[in-house]
């Protein structure tokens, strides 16, 4: 069975669109609450909750991380950049897992995988700090052989393959090639002893194809689930996605 991690960032995006500068005096009126969203996703069958604390705090904010750590009963996965600030926050909060991701302040959402090769020393220090604290560490990378090999060399037990290029090519003739890259990347990562996760751009249509990714352990999905929840509610959105990625269950 492929596990489902629900990313609740875009629930917080809706909140921040209205309450980014709100004072604490109106806290009881602030909605939607990403913690409540996460707990509803758990009740519907989510195997874990993913959240990305960005340096600019555009959606998830520090208070969310603390509250989420106290409330989540499945598994909290904190996406974060390889910076001293984020390392310190992770070591204080102690989520069950962290996923190291690239971060560009001009992007709307994460646009590519972490360049482990180009930032070897920085990533190595971050992986060592997390592993020493007993926090499972995943590297969000493109399905590139050099990135996969170095991820294994640095001792990160998990990689999350960036599926964005494949998802973006869904209606083009590049799609078979992007799927091939993901399959070969998953096989290479598994052969190197890495747990294989995947995420970015997975939705209710393309899930039927990506669920065949060899050795897939967990998919982290956010935007599509939050979008579906606007029409059908978070519980139904989570249940349907779980059924799509595990149709025989």
Which positions are annotated as active-site residues? Answer: 52, 79, 200
Residues 6 or more apart in contact with residue 76 via CB below 8 angstroms:
48, 49, 51, 68, 69, 95, 96, 97
- C-alpha angle with apex 134: 130 to 137, nearest 5 degrees? 45
Token pair listed for 59: 């959606």
Q: Which of 99, 40, 39 shows the shortest CA–CA distance to 70?
A: 39
Distance CA 117, CA 102 (A): 13
8 A C-beta contact, residue 167 and residue 201 = yes
Distance CA 83, CA 114 (A): 13
8 A C-beta contact, residue 2 and residue 211 = yes
Q: Cite the beta strand spans of 40-95 per DSSP E.
A: 48-52, 76-80
């Amino acid at each position: 069975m492929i596990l489902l991690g629900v990313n609740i960032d875009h629930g917080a995006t809706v909140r921040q669109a209205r309450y980014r500068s709100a004072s604490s005096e109106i806290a009881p009126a602030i909605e939607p609450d990403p913690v409540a969203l996460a707990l509803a996703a758990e009740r519907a069958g989510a195997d874990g909750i993913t959240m990305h604390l960005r340096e600019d705090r555009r959606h998830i904010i520090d208070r969310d991380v603390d509250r989420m750590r106290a409330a989540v009963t499945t598994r909290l996965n904190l996406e974060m950049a390889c910076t001293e600030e984020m390392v310190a926050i992770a070591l204080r909060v102690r989520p069950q897992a962290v996923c190291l991701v690239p971060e560009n302040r001009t992007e709307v959402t994460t646009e590519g995988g972490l360049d482990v090769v180009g930032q070897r020393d920085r990533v190595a220090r971050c992986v060592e700090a997390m592993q020493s604290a007993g926090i499972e560490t995943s590297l969000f990378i493109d399905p590139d052989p050099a990135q996969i090999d170095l991820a294994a060399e640095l001792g990160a037990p998990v990689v999350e393959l960036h599926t964005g290029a494949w998802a973006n090519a869904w209606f083009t003739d590049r799609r078979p090639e992007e799927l091939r890259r993901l399959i070969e990347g998953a096989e290479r990562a598994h052969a190197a002893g890495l747990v294989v996760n995947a995420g970015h751009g997975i939705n209710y249509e393309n899930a039927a194809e990506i669920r065949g990714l060899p050795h897939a352990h967990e998919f982290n999905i956010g935007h599509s689930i939050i979008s579906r929840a606007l029409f059908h509610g978070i519980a139904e959105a989570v249940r349907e996605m779980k059924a799509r990625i595990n149709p025989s269950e």
